[in-house]
Amino acid sequence: MPSSAVGRGVPALRYRRALARAAVRAAAAGLPVVPGAWWSTAERRFECDVAGCTRTGPHPVVPAAYGGLGAIAGEGLAAHAIRHPAAVTARWRRAPYAVLVPTGETCDVVDVPASTGRTLALRLDARSELGPVIAAGARWFFLTAPGGRLPAWGGDTLVHGLGSWIMLPPSLGPGGEPAGWLVRPGRTGWYLPTRDAVLRELDGPAVPSQRRYDEALRPA
Binned average pLDDT, 10 residues per bin, the chain of 220 residues:
54 93 96 95 92 90 52 61 96 96 94 94 95 95 90 75 92 93 93 94 66 38
pLDDT of residue 80: 85
Amino acid in the structure at residue 156: D
pLDDT of residue 107: 95
Q: Could you give the CA distance from residue 136 to residue 82 in angstroms, rounded to a whole number?
A: 23
pLDDT value for 3 = 43
Confidence (pLDDT) at 73: 42
47: left (phi over 0), alpha (psi -120 to 50) or beta: beta
pTM: 0.84
Phi and psi at residue 181, to the nearest 5°: -80, 125
Rounded CA gap, 33 and 84, in Å? 9
User: Is residue 41 within 8 Å of 2, Cβ to Cβ?
Assistant: no
CB 113, CB 139: distance < 8 Å: yes
Give residue 154's pLDDT: 54
